[in-house]
Structure 1
Amino acid sequence: MLTILESLDDEVLLLPAEELHTRLPGPVLVHLKGRKQPALFASVLLHGNEHTGWEAVRKCLLGYTGRELPRDFSLYIGNVQAARYGKRYLDEQRDFNRVWEGNESSPEHEMMRTVVEQMKQRGVFGSIDIHNNSGKNPHYACVNRTDNKFLQLGSLFSRTMVYFTRPRGVQSMAFAQFCPAVTVECGLSGEKSGIDHASEFIDACMHIKKLPERTLGNRDIDLYHTVATVKIMDDHQFGFDHKDYDLWLDRNIEYFNFRELPRGSCIGKVNSNKGNPLFITDELGEDVTQDYFSIIDGDLISNREIIPAMITLNTDVIKKDCLCYLMEHYPLPE
């Protein structure tokens, strides 16, 4: 399932994500030589509908045509078959960003174990997993540890950062066991601002000799902590187009991302007697739905102040992943 290469043809770098399947047999791990070691690692297209990572990588690498890279660079190009169809993943596949940990024996799990073991043996300066949001969000970095090296790496991309420990099985958690690792969220797929931002970040990481040791605090970065995951119950029809669904959500809901919403905020209308349409779990997987939302006269109302992130209007993403995450401010030393 995995092809390992020591070079990448220039012709491949000229292809958009949806055409990579014409030159690559499937997922690829490629090791490129540079002046400094150990290597910077980057993963792209873990979700086939998120193209910014690949566009950023090829922009960066094409800029070094005929020149030596500043640092060894190992690149994992993920779900090229899903990218062909613009899908997060195909129906017969597992989500490529939920299979990096665990003891399951699926082909996807086995492949990611190979990538992790090979990179652990080679040594990694830092790991970057590049993603897009399907809703309107600022560009931000995500970390699974609040260790200063992780925060320093993330701060090279954005002062806005999110600390999360769920969901499990993501790439950054696997690599966090042996190197600083971040996930960067670059807005909507294909936007020029996201491609440019991610490409500049990759280039900066290849140039830097070592991560700064100065401890970052609240004055340096805005750090949030993901405390809950919001899903919509499978037995509830939902949508944004009209009010006849079990749960009708306003299309403006994605503008709530990274905003502090006071207690009593309404996020939708409930038109059924099936109970709360939301299922909300905390970091331990415990049901905390009633802590966050209640139905009052048909309105879905927040029971406390909330800060949503990654709200999306993409119903396919909502069904396969979630509606959004809920966050709190995470204090750091002054």
Structure 2
Amino acid sequence: MNSSATVFSKLLPNQSSGFHYGKLINSALKNIGIPLLGIGLFLLLWAGAAQNIDTSLGKFPGPAAVTTQFAALYNEHSAEREKADKFYQRQENRNAERLAKDPGYQAKIRNYTGKETFLDQIVTSLITVSSGFLLAAFIAIPLGIAIGLSKTLNMAVNPIIQIFKPVSPLAWLPLVTMVVSALYISPEPMVAKSFLNSMITVTLCCIWPMVINTSVGVAGIDDDLVNVSRVLRLPALKHVQKIVLPAAIPMIFTGMRLSLSVAWMVLIAAEMLAQNPGLGKFVWDEFQNGSSESLSRIMAAVITIGFIGFLLDRLMLQLQRWVSWDKSSAQR
């Protein structure tokens, strides 16, 4: 009797596995299906609205036109790389012929000076925003820790933070440009002035969220942790290393994520005005160009800017998960 029941139970579908698969399907629909549905509705609304918007350069670009421009921009990049490869190959051939005739000849390789492609400008923008953000973090996190640990310093510095926090990058950029032009004088500069102008403007605008959130995180440390540090008589640096930083990491990373998003937005405006060869300059050049394809190329840049901003935020969130002891603080 028992053996018959066992055989019969094996023939029945596994209810627990079916329930498990059902949960997986529901999870997939929720995490993948709903976002795809939202994107699909957005594309439909975009395509419909684009057909009804006439500009001086023609119809506003829809999804199909922008997709075509993405392909065209990549093809332009590939063609430019081929030109660069042929340029360097010609130099190598000439140098080889010259050295065969004159072994004492000092061969030189000149840099290719062709126009920067869309992908090159993406790389330039990423380098600029990373440099400005890291400089801001180097200044803001220690300053935020000091402000959070000292109420006196907080009272002294807080008015300055509140005054400069809302200042637009458009206000900072002329001042930065004048200062860089006055101080950065070199016949062979290591980096271009336009790069420094954009980087310093990014730093000035994204430093404040990091300072504020770091100081709030440090000031809000649990009193029990502070009392443990006092009982153990930890030196100041050990107190910061063992107590302050681990407890304040969630707020520090909140400030860093906010600052990185601010830095990426500020960078585009700064590159437009400073003419640093990044995505901001690409948008400005296409706007000035005024060709029939300019709008779709600008829209392609807008989508790229937004997508890169999303990836930068996800990268910072993943970094927080790696270094934070409280994994629940890095869920979104």
What interval of TM-score do these two structures reach, taking the shorter chain for normalisation?
A: under 0.3
**Which has the larger share of strand?**
1
**Which has the larger share of helix?**
2
Q: TM-score, normalised by structure 1?
A: 0.22
Q: TM-score, normalised by structure 2?
A: 0.22
Which structure has the bigger radius of gyration? 2
